[in-house]
Structure 1
Amino acid sequence: MPNQENNQDWSNYEEVVDKFIQVIAKNMNLYGITPSVGRLYGTLFFSEYPMTLDDMRDALEMSKTSMSTGVRSLSEMKMVEPAFRKGIRKDLYKSEEDWYKSFTSLFGNRWRHHTETNIEEAEEAIQELEQIQVQTDDNGLKDKITSDIERLRYAQGYYRWLMRFIQVVESGEIFKYVPRDEKN
């Protein structure tokens, strides 16, 4: 009988862990990471040992190609790193367990790309509006374009500020202002 009770304990344990892995996957979706890649990260996070692509495939019942793509994505975001275990020739991976480091990398990568794009798009819009403004004889349109260019310059100022904020996050300087919770 104790064996059956023990099995139920393990089953309860797995249920709790699986539930939290779903929470991780859902939260990572906020950063543009697919739920399946989020589950992969959660699985690696709770794994006691580094895992091969075959281990991940078996754990998540997904294709090895999906695992490889997911690991590559997580690796680019510095959320997964290669690992070594004596006697194993296959590539092994483990999760980055410093979530503060993962967040700063993920946040920086995602926001930097979008912010840089927005700065460029605003500049293109300004140039195109200036061209229209020079060509038109319509004074109402000229005034509207002047007003819109001012709005776009304001937006660019915001995006430049956001780039400085991203640098504060990426550099870790953010922790001077919002300290890490080191209680655990």
Structure 2
Amino acid sequence: MLPSDAVPEPHMHTILKARKRVIEAIGKNMDLYGITQSVGHLYGMLFFSEKPMTLDEMGKEMEMSKTSMSTGVRNLLDLKMVHKVWEKGARKDLYEAEPDWYQTFADYFAIEWRKAVEANVIALNRSSAELRRLQEAADGEEATLAIIQSDLDKIDSALRYYEWLNRFIDTLESGDIYKLVPKDKP
């Protein structure tokens, strides 16, 4: 790739304008990923960067503190949207954006959905056990037993959904999703 200083000024201006438009759009839509607009802008800047960047370089480029950059990069690392890279002779940590948006989507939603599934399954199982104990104690109380059974049926249905969601998450993590919904060819 040619360095940007080899590009004539009018062309570079158009390139930077186009990049800025995309970076703004990325920032506006990052609430989908649970992160702030400024962290979305950080990802967009790294996405278009021609080389890995240090926190200092990012802070200078975005006119933000190193602390803010560190927090933003940590969020992006947790979401697997940014990777730490090694470069011979570099004394500071370097970071680059994950360029594969398909992988970014799969990683993010797999991580977030697994957390949600786990929390909901724990609550459903706890409630099911509690209702089953009450079911045994309420022997002969038809109205109570009918309500308990109705709730247990709903809980069982929800648990089946979460079993399905776990299988769906497995397809994201394994890459099998792309057999069902292929990536577009470049």
If the length of structure 2 is used for normalisation, what is the TM-score?
Answer: 0.86
CA-CA distance at 1:78 after TM superposition: 1.9
Residue 100 of structure 2: aligned partner: 98
Residue 161 of structure 1: aligned partner: 164
Residue 54 of structure 1: aligned partner: 56
Matches within 5 A, 1:13-162: 13-136=15-138, 138-162=141-165
1:84-117 deviations in whole A, cap 9, x for unaligned? 3444311111111112222211111011111121
CA-CA distance at 1:43 after TM superposition: 0.8
Gaps of 5+ in 2: 1-7
Residue 175 of structure 2: aligned partner: 172
Gaps of 5+ in 1: 1-5
Looking at structure 2, the residues matched to 107 and 74 of structure 1 have their Cα atoms a distance apart, in angstroms, of 14
Residue 3 of structure 1: aligned partner: none
Looking at structure 2, the residues matched to 149 and 17 of structure 1 have their Cα atoms a distance apart, in angstroms, of 53
- SS of equivalent residue, structure 1 residue 30: helix
Paired amino acid for 2:98? E
- SS of equivalent residue, structure 2 residue 33: coil
If the length of structure 1 is used for normalisation, what is the TM-score?
Answer: 0.87
CA-CA distance at 1:11 after TM superposition: 4.0
Question: After the TM superposition, which of the residue ranges 105-114 and 131-140 deviates more from structure 2?
Answer: 131-140
Looking at structure 2, the residues matched to 11 and 118 of structure 1 have their Cα atoms a distance apart, in angstroms, of 50
Question: After the TM superposition, which of the residue ranges 77-86 and 147-156 deviates more from structure 2?
Answer: 77-86
| Percent of aligned positions that are identical | 46
Paired amino acid for 1:95? A
Q: Do the aligned partners of 1:83 and 1:91 also contact (CA within 8 Å) in 2?
A: yes
User: How many pairs were matched up?
Assistant: 178
Looking at structure 1, the residues matched to 62 and 35 of structure 2 have their Cα atoms a distance apart, in angstroms, of 17
Looking at structure 1, the residues matched to 76 and 64 of structure 2 have their Cα atoms a distance apart, in angstroms, of 16
Looking at structure 2, the residues matched to 83 and 148 of structure 1 have their Cα atoms a distance apart, in angstroms, of 51
CA-CA distance at 1:163 after TM superposition: 0.3
Question: After the TM superposition, which of the residue ranges 112-121 and 16-25 deviates more from structure 2?
Answer: 16-25
Paired amino acid for 1:169? L
Paired amino acid for 2:154? R
CA-CA distance at 1:138 after TM superposition: 4.5
- SS of equivalent residue, structure 2 residue 96: strand
